[in-house]
Structure 1
Amino acid sequence: MNSLDAVPAVRRIDTDRADLFAVDVVGHVSPADAENLFGLLEAAYLLHPMVDVLVRLVDYEDTDWAGLSPQTIERGKAKALEHVRRCATIGEPDWTGRVRRLFTTLPVEIRHFDAKDEQQAWTWLDARAL
């Protein structure tokens, strides 16, 4: 990577649980960042049929969903429904209501935590960052 390359908006967080997929989402999420996120999740699903997810939003700006194919988005949603048990989001915005509206049924338990309550999210998932 040279100094002109964009820093990825999606960054893995190492945790003490192998079946916890944890990421920071920082700033603007480009279509390439979103594709990367879907690829990382697919790899996690191959290693662990069921995973918990933690998404920490850090100075989040927006996501360029228009740059992704509808098939990629639909496949990502379908895979999440198959493989994700619980999802904790930390920080703003709280998009858990929008996620619930996207699905007619949501077998995934999803909770939002304010940034000041981050430790509660980690406790809810019985995990910690390394």
Structure 2
Amino acid sequence: MIVHDNPPHIRRMETGRDDAFGFEITGHITASDIENMFGLLEAAYELHDRIDVLVVVREFEGFDWSAALRKSTLSGKAHALKHIRRYAVVGGPGWMSAAMGFFKPFLSVEMRHFALDEEAEAWAWLDAA
């Protein structure tokens, strides 16, 4: 068994649909966490032109601003917008809902924020489990 000193803070969650992808975020997000997530999404785009994404945020401790503002991260976000049909965020700090509300009118992605205790509703909104 391999023990990781720094396990990933963004982990993939299994879903009931092959074109729906779930991620769980915990702790402090680093550049390697972001690169891992975009790598998983890139693989999904190879199989499906349009996907649905659910992100569950538990015990969020922030992220490295330098990682969030990297050219590769910004490029990954722009590429994701071409492929994501529906995007649900569950939990997280209050500013996440406000940020989604701010950007919603400018994007073609259907987005919704759910409270942590509404995770089942988020899965239902995506028609996934």
Q: TM-score, normalised by structure 2?
A: 0.88
Q: Give the direction of change, closer, same or farther, for the CA distance of 1:4–1:53 in structure 2 (3 Å limit).
A: closer
User: For 2:86, what is the secondary structure of its paired residue?
Assistant: strand
- Residues 103, 66 of structure 1: alpha-carbon distance in 2 compared, 3 angstrom cutoff: farther
Any unmatched runs of 5+ in structure 2? none
State the one-letter code of the partner of 1:44.
A
Structure 1 residue 63, shift from structure 2 partner:
1.2
3-state secondary structure, aligned to 2:82: helix
Gap runs ≥5 in structure 1: none
* 1:113 alignment counterpart: 114
Is the 8 Å Cα contact of residues 104 and 111 (structure 2) preserved in structure 1? no
Is the contact made by 2:90 and 2:116 (CA closer than 8 Å) also made in structure 1? yes
Equivalences for residues 1-40 of structure 1 within 5 A:
3=3, 5-40=5-40
Q: Deviations over 1:4-52 (max 9, x none)?
A: 6201101111111000110100111111111111111111111111000
Task: Give the secondary structure class of the aligned counterpart of 1:18.
Answer: coil
Deviation at 1:105, TM superposition (A): 2.1
C-alpha separation in 2, matches of 1:122 and 1:86: 11
Q: Is the 8 A contact 2:97 2:113 kept in 1?
A: yes
CA RMSD, 1 decimal: 2.0
Matches within 5 A, 1:1-130: 3=3, 5-67=5-67, 70-94=70-94, 95-99=96-100, 101=102, 105-128=106-129
